[in-house]
Structure 1
Amino acid sequence: MPNLQLSPLIDQLKLVALDDDFEKHFNLLTSTLDGPSKFKVRAEVRRLTRACPRTVDLRKRVDGDCRRIEHRGRVHYLDEVARDIFERGLRDYNGVFTQDTYERIMQAENNYRVMYEQQKAAQAESAEDDTFDDESAFELFKLGFYPYRDEERMNYTVEVYIELEGASSCRAITNNISQGGLKIRVDRSQMQLQVGQQANIYFTGFAKEFTIDPQLPIRYEIARISEENQRTYISLKRADGDLNKDFDAFINRFISGYKRRYRVNTDNTEIALLNKAHEQFYLPRMRRLTLYLQRHSKELSCKYVLTTYNNESTLAHWYNETNELAIGPIFNKRRSQYMIKKLERNESCELTLLTFNIVAKGKVYFYSALVEELKKIELWDTFASFAVQKSSFQAFRLSLSPVNHKQAWRPQAVPQHINLPSREQPFTESVQHALSEIDYVATLDDVTDLIKPFCGLSYNKDELAKLRAFVHPPSPPHRSQAIKLEFVNLRSEQRYHLRSRCRVRSGSFSRDGLVLDISEHGLRIQVDEPIPGSNRSEMQVSFTQLLQHHKNEPLTDVQYQIVNVDKSRTAFNLKLSEQPASRAAAQFLTRFIQQREQRLPKIYENNSLKGFELGLRNLYCDAASAVPLFFYQTKTNEDFLGRIGVPPVISDWSRLLQMPNSLLPKATLPTLLNTSGLLDKWKSWLMSADKSERPMNQLLLFQLGWDDQNKRTVSVLAFDVETVTLDDIEHHVIQALLNDTIIAVNIELSRTGRPDRQFIEAEMQYLSAYAQYKVDRVERQLDSVLGVADSFSVTPLLTQSLELSESLQAVAAKRLEQWLSATN
């Protein structure tokens, strides 16, 4: 084979090799070559243009359907891509099936062998890719952002000409192409560009290779203009009413046939995969209560409360004597109107709520008051001092946001026409109707420990009677329902379907039953008749049916502990006891599952995220004001804060995190948080913490100011919320506000579990089909996540609770806005 420098010359000559004037063309085009090079070119042209005696059968060798084609007595089986190459070859070589045509068919991009080699090469290229970007900067992502494309977009470079209305045309190069769109690179200085402008595109490059008319204009509209790497890119979409069935069919065939070679642009899928997976780390660790409210006239009613593993203890305070959730009345008519009006004025609705309850004569009486209400009628001291002495005392940062119903359903970041077994279906009408009734999302962040130092210990007993104005009605006017946010694959073990008879014993009761599913250390059973049993109590299980085939195994009276039981007392979730006597049974069950893993059907149970709960989850992501922070530990034991989720609701804290490093002082925020003793303390706690442990709670106080050169300065102090005193906070805040300003942030640090892989399975499958190296890169990053911190601003809460003068609060707010918004 000649060297690659001669390939363009060979490509030119082979198309005229069968013409009568071939020698003329050959002598003209090879006039600058030496004798050996001319010989090589002539030999290669002759080899490529001679008739090929082979029969081509691509069945089971390509990614496409093959049809029978007969040519000069030979029967070929070709897919659509190969047929296109075959027919073009016959036209180019006067009806002869040449060696060149054969090699092009066998090297087509959808050939399985070619696909394998390309993917292997791509993985090799990416093996050295860093999992993370520069650790001196945070990687920001928007909560709930899963960029979706309805069409596959293929990376492909080809020459086109763009012609704007009333302007001359100019040459451009495509960056990627889809059925209904195009992205091109152009010299912007050649023409005036505007979004919405109509443009004619001439596919001159395609015309050189395919049967496309180079004078055929395809109508597009400019959708976006961007500058990247000092180049101008234009994103275009097909103009409305531009119908050209022949061109549409060509583009469809072209992308289907060539996408394996030139690769589909999967950047949006990788982004969605990373975002969704990180949210799966974060959402189950939230301590906040998320409430979904419906507006009735001028009053808000709480319909649903989203519960997680970390907020169950907080929510437990809100159940009354009849086990009903009684949190709704905190939104009484007066408060509802007050909060709704703040939102209508485009003001931030961020308030502080104090609550407690009293049990009397078998009934639970709930009290709640906003700090604004108490200070207006001068009852802050009495209410706060009385409430803080109750074991039921809780304080919350309350935030309210309107709902955008369009954000409840978010399709997976895989084009709809791609057939995947894990495809999520749009919500049913009943789910859509239930979600449409939600008008607002409220979040209650537990700031009890932060508020306690501001509450006095003495109060005027004569004023206690006034607190009756803050008691909730005895029966909630609207019932609230707790909705569990579950991610099934947070389980430590895979579960499998297994139907096998058993006999169970709990105390003095014995019952026959049926094993429903099994894992190495877990079991779910259904007994024939109810049997007493409560969480954490012991239950002995004898695997009577398995014993028939495994008589010598320790399968009698295996010790389990009840994890969950249904109301009928007939269905139990069990986990294997940690007693030494259970180890032999655990070893057998592990072997049993491993030997039959291919035959035992796996259990996938994310039904809770298939409908209504998924909609609630998405609505929260669209209305959140908290900022999740993700901590990583690399294989070289480097720890750092690397990724941050940016919420839709803007706060001073989220604005600070999004400031460009160029506007920050030398000790940039990433450097400040990643190299200070603060990170060492967080790392030490994460390394020793268990996933089920209560989050570590800290208060960060950022002091923001200006130096002598009028450059920004920033420093940070950290306080343990459980031990901080009023004097500590007050001293540092007052000192900071003498000349500077502050941002106060509450941090709740948790050790992470594992993300629910089933929830991101569709994106994983699609991405692996085109770019396995990207899947590997994502998995490396996910495996490195060590912890997640839920963080939110408490600046207004702090300045309000310190009872600073209104003038000082106004000055601090003005300085803060100047610091955050200055452009240099």
Structure 2
Amino acid sequence: MTQDLQQYADIIEQLKPMVNEPEFNQVLTQVAGGLPKEKRFLIKMEVKRLARPCMRSIDLRGQVDGNCQLYEYDGIKHYLDDIAIDMFEQQIRVFGHYSFGVYEAVQQTENNYRVMRERAESSQQQSEQGGQSSKSTHTMARFSVPVVNLLDYSRRDTERMNFAVALEIFNESNHSIRGISVDVSTEGIQVKLSKESLFKTGEKVFIYFRGLEDEFAMDKKNGIAYTVVKIGRKKDIQYLSLRRAKEFPNPAFDKFLESFIHGNKRRYKVNMANTIDAIRNKSCEQYFSPRCPTLPVYIDDINGSPVPRYAMANEVNREILHYWSDEQDESRLGFLLNSKRLAALLQKKADRRELFVYSFTHLQNEKVYFYSASADELADKDVLRGAFLGFGSRKASWRIFKLTMTDMSPDQAHAPLSIPDSVSSKIKRQNTPPAPRLMSKLKNLRYLVHITDVTSDAGQRRYSEYKFNRNNLSHLRVFGHPRNRVPQEIPIFRFKSQDKRLESRYLLRSNIELRMHVDGRPVKGVSEDISVHGLRLELNGEFTGQIDDRVTVSFPKLQELTSKHDVMSLQYDVVHFNPDRNIVHLKSAHGEPGQSARHFFDDLIKQNRNTLKSYPEEEEIPGIGHALRIINARNVMSLSFLLSKDGVRYKPEASIIGKQDDRVSRLASHFGGKDEVNLEFMFRDRNLDSPFVQHGIKQVKVENLPIRQEVFIAFDPAQKDSRMAIIPRFDNQFTSDDTRHNFIKEAMGRGQFIALHVMLTTTGKPDLDMLQAEINYVSVYAIHRAKELEEKLWSIAACSHLVDITDEVMMRYNFEPAEIARNRENTAQHVIEPNGIQALLRA
């Protein structure tokens, strides 16, 4: 379409479906009657051109942000991605055949690189014309997102109904104020009145329901007593939250109000603001917990001594557990969390309980030997520091772990629904606190330690340049963990996510042979666990198939034990395999092909139920995994933010602030509004060829592993311009360690230096079971809101985790402890200029 016709694009869109209809000229006159005759002629010719049959093939490979596949239509082969296919089929319905209009529309999709570039250039030109200030303000606003405190939401003891009625309120001075109710419950009421009315929290007031006196037999002489619990203001309106004063009972009014709400709650609608907030809050927790790369370990306080009691694993943080497992696959996590380090963490200030631990392993005679040292332990043995860091960092097993400790309470294990018990017996049952047997296992828990792997290629390369005396290597045994002093076992529980088991699984290791139906190539291995409908196998070679492929599994050892069943050709479908393609999850083939497998394992389990061990995910104490998950969610230690897909880009949706992450929280909150953070600094590279967040998420999806990157930040809160106040540099933007060192020095000179270890993970499917009760409750009164919430729930695609590694980076580049301490305190020396009265006084 030419530039001249571009201004008539809306008219052309309206005419496309009518181009082959007899009424075309009549419709053209109707929709373009106000245009000159020559313009109408040009529009008509353009629509006719778009409707002409086309024989061209479309190949979008390399031209769009998407995976293209072969798509054939009417004998013509095209290579299109999903968005282009949708556009192709949509335009086919408009024109009725493959035309030039279809051809051109398919090449104008939003994920086409040329289209994105043209729009970016156009947007940049418009912004330059509109002024740099407005552009900056608009850009910053795009990256402001609300802060979510996980599992912190309001719970109501009674249903609250939206209801507006005229009220008269008498305060303690017996002054009368007129107002209107906003919502009402048997326990309280919210009132809207003028901003000039003066009240104070805790004040007793008496309310007369003037708007109900004509319809109901209300007591006109005695008001209903309430206590002011909260005062809010919005523009010229004041909102009072009031609670019934129990010392002034009124059974008649209680009975009336209960009956009135029950009979009218569908008419006036239940106030569900807290339930909607709870659904959003729980949604964030669902996307955060199951794929958070940090490993939480729960610490008991036994006679004043900290003892690791439980750990909580998910599909991402289990890499830490794998690292601290020996050649027998026995967990040795206790080497990392020994009593000396836990005591050292406890001795630090409550808001600075963190420790960096360096480690490597040594393999000798097929046995794994673990070596680790914290930054404090290396400082005590300064002679060996260079040898440990220089030698250890040259090994493939080199790791750096950040340990953070915070206080916690067993009471945090209970997260009731936002809905009152009175709604139904099912809701009341779900709101029941954890059982005494479960709480007895949690009663001594006092601390939570988070372990995060913050190893980086740049850091490892830097440490490997440390020079050391090889004669000192034999002395490194002081940092070794003796194999004959095995640490106390720490039971591992798993985050329960959407993949809930429909049946019990049992441990059974037996030799197997797996064959693909496609090529018939056998792969040997062993079974890990079994159930009636499924298997998990560990293969000696690589699995070459795909999800949903049909495979045959043989059990030669088990066949020797049974003559009733043929177990040498059991039929299964592939449902999952790990990134290394050596662990495969199978389900029995549907219908008759899978009957043999189901019948055999059903008999096997029934006859051996007393001897078969259930899989460790089957909790010995029901509910303990869920309880530990809730405790962890309420004690997040570092800042994270969730991202949703917006067209072909990803944008932040919500942020989770860490309890002990003041430096990063202060940075992120600097340009944010109330209860918001602004994450623009994490997207400063958005116009480069491979912006970290956008490019990283695609890489995570391909590799199915977290993507890591370090970012150095110069933070000067005294600057009002965001681009000067926060200057971020991703590690790949530095050319050498000298430039990194200089950046740190300059950042400290102008304000504060902050280093972040950034991890990107994708999110799994939402577990609607954990939200269903509240979604159903919202659906009863506002089904459209429930659908909106579910749509939003499915839009979240990734999560970014920002871990503060400032002190470790400064130690890496040999800054003195005094400089590290001074940098931590630097923010207090740089404050934003005062305004208003304070500015006038200073003048």
Aligned partner of residue 141 in structure 1, secondary structure: coil
Does structure 1 retain, via aligned residues, the 8 Å contact 2:405–2:448?
yes
Aligned partner of residue 697 in structure 1, secondary structure: strand
Corresponding residue to 1:762 among 747, 753, 773: 773
How do 1:205-216 and structure 2 match up within 5 A? 205-216=211-222
Does structure 1 retain, via aligned residues, the 8 Å contact 2:639–2:661?
no
Aligned partner of residue 309 in structure 1, secondary structure: coil
C-alpha change, 1:249 and 1:650, in structure 2 (3 Å) is farther
Q: Does 1:794 align with 2:805?
A: yes
TM-score by length of 1: 0.68
How do 1:287-302 and structure 2 match up within 5 A? 287-302=293-308
Cα distance in 1, alignment partners of residues 617 and 192 from structure 2: 44
Corresponding residue to 2:658 among 647, 659, 665: 647
Does structure 2 retain, via aligned residues, the 8 Å contact 1:142–1:645?
yes
Q: Does 1:456 align with 2:464?
A: yes
Does structure 2 retain, via aligned residues, the 8 Å contact 1:626–1:791?
yes
Q: Does 1:469 align with 2:478?
A: yes
Aligned partner of residue 677 in structure 1, secondary structure: coil
Please, which runs of 5 or more residues in structure 2 have no aligned partner? Answer: 1-139, 505-509, 516-528, 544-550, 556-567, 579-583, 595-615, 836-843
How do 1:468-487 and structure 2 match up within 5 A? 468-473=477-482, 474-487=484-497
Cα distance in 1, alignment partners of residues 658 and 833 from structure 2: 22
Residues 302-352 of structure 1: CA deviation (Å, up to 9, x unaligned): 111111111222211212355432212433343333211224xx3411221
Q: Specify the alignment match of 1:243 in structure 2.
A: 249
Cα distance in 1, alignment partners of residues 455 and 321 from structure 2: 14
Does structure 2 retain, via aligned residues, the 8 Å contact 1:356–1:393?
yes
C-alpha change, 1:624 and 1:725, in structure 2 (3 Å) is farther
How do 1:32-43 and structure 2 match up within 5 A? none
Letter in 2 for 1:743: I
Q: Specify the alignment match of 1:169 in structure 2.
A: 176
How do 1:207-356 and structure 2 match up within 5 A? 207-343=213-349, 346-356=350-360
Does structure 1 retain, via aligned residues, the 8 Å contact 2:298–2:445?
yes
Q: Specify the alignment match of 1:146 in structure 2.
A: 153
Residues 25-65 of structure 1: CA deviation (Å, up to 9, x unaligned): xxxxxxxxxxxxxxxxxxxxxxxxxxxxxxxxxxxxxxxxx
Cα distance in 2, alignment partners of residues 267 and 376 from structure 1: 55
Does structure 1 retain, via aligned residues, the 8 Å contact 2:414–2:630?
yes
Cα distance in 2, alignment partners of residues 481 and 497 from structure 1: 23
C-alpha change, 1:672 and 1:797, in structure 2 (3 Å) is closer
Does structure 2 retain, via aligned residues, the 8 Å contact 1:302–1:327?
no
Cα distance in 1, alignment partners of residues 301 and 452 from structure 2: 22
CA shift, 1:620, in A, is 0.9
Corresponding residue to 2:625 among 601, 606, 613: 613
Percent identical among aligned pairs is 23
C-alpha change, 1:576 and 1:134, in structure 2 (3 Å) is farther
Q: Does 1:441 align with 2:448?
A: yes
Please, which runs of 5 or more residues in structure 1 have no aligned partner? Answer: 1-132, 499-503, 510-522, 543-554, 566-571, 587-604
CA shift, 1:443, in A, is 0.7
Q: Specify the alignment match of 1:686 in structure 2.
A: 697
CA shift, 1:292, in A, is 0.9
Greater RCO structure (CA 8 Å; 6+ sep): 1
Cα distance in 2, alignment partners of residues 532 and 630 from structure 1: 34
Residues 647-685 of structure 1: CA deviation (Å, up to 9, x unaligned): 333421122223354799xx9743873783378442233
Q: Does 1:412 align with 2:417?
A: yes
Residues 177-216 of structure 1: CA deviation (Å, up to 9, x unaligned): 111111112335343x222222222222222321111222
Cα distance in 2, alignment partners of residues 527 and 783 from structure 1: 29
Aligned partner of residue 439 in structure 1, secondary structure: strand
C-alpha change, 1:353 and 1:506, in structure 2 (3 Å) is closer
Letter in 2 for 1:219: A
Q: Specify the alignment match of 1:558 in structure 2.
A: 571
Residues 681-717 of structure 1: CA deviation (Å, up to 9, x unaligned): 4223324542761111112222222678899933443
Aligned partner of residue 757 in structure 2, secondary structure: strand
CA shift, 1:223, in A, is 1.0
Corresponding residue to 2:402 among 375, 378, 397: 397
Aligned partner of residue 207 in structure 2, secondary structure: strand
Does structure 2 retain, via aligned residues, the 8 Å contact 1:351–1:797?
no
Does structure 2 retain, via aligned residues, the 8 Å contact 1:357–1:365?
yes
Corresponding residue to 1:809 among 814, 817, 820: 820
Q: Specify the alignment match of 1:429 in structure 2.
A: 436
CA shift, 1:734, in A, is 2.0
CA shift, 1:225, in A, is 1.2
Q: Does 1:358 align with 2:362?
A: yes
Does structure 2 retain, via aligned residues, the 8 Å contact 1:702–1:714?
no
TM-score by length of 2: 0.66
Does structure 1 retain, via aligned residues, the 8 Å contact 2:334–2:490?
yes
Cα distance in 2, alignment partners of residues 654 and 327 from structure 1: 30
Aligned partner of residue 421 in structure 2, secondary structure: coil
Residues 151-188 of structure 1: CA deviation (Å, up to 9, x unaligned): 11111111222222234232222111111111112335
Aligned partner of residue 680 in structure 2, secondary structure: helix
Corresponding residue to 1:624 among 630, 633, 636: 636
CA shift, 1:221, in A, is 1.4
Corresponding residue to 2:763 among 738, 752, 762: 752
Letter in 2 for 1:453: R
CA shift, 1:142, in A, is 1.4
Corresponding residue to 2:194 among 183, 187, 190: 187
Cα distance in 2, alignment partners of residues 351 and 746 from structure 1: 15
Residues 561-581 of structure 1: CA deviation (Å, up to 9, x unaligned): 59799xxxxxx951489xxxx
Aligned partner of residue 404 in structure 2, secondary structure: strand
Residues 389-425 of structure 1: CA deviation (Å, up to 9, x unaligned): 3333221111000112221111012212222757634
CA shift, 1:134, in A, is 6.7
Aligned partner of residue 754 in structure 1, secondary structure: coil
Q: Specify the alignment match of 2:40 in structure 1.
A: none
Letter in 2 for 1:700: V
C-alpha change, 1:691 and 1:606, in structure 2 (3 Å) is farther
Residues 101-132 of structure 1: CA deviation (Å, up to 9, x unaligned): xxxxxxxxxxxxxxxxxxxxxxxxxxxxxxxx
Letter in 1 for 2:571: V
Does structure 2 retain, via aligned residues, the 8 Å contact 1:183–1:236?
yes
Letter in 2 for 1:400: M
Corresponding residue to 1:657 among 659, 664, 668: 668
Cα distance in 2, alignment partners of residues 247 and 146 from structure 1: 30
Bigger mean CA offset, 416-425 vs 427-436: 416-425
C-alpha change, 1:610 and 1:496, in structure 2 (3 Å) is closer
C-alpha change, 1:404 and 1:323, in structure 2 (3 Å) is same
Letter in 2 for 1:407: Q
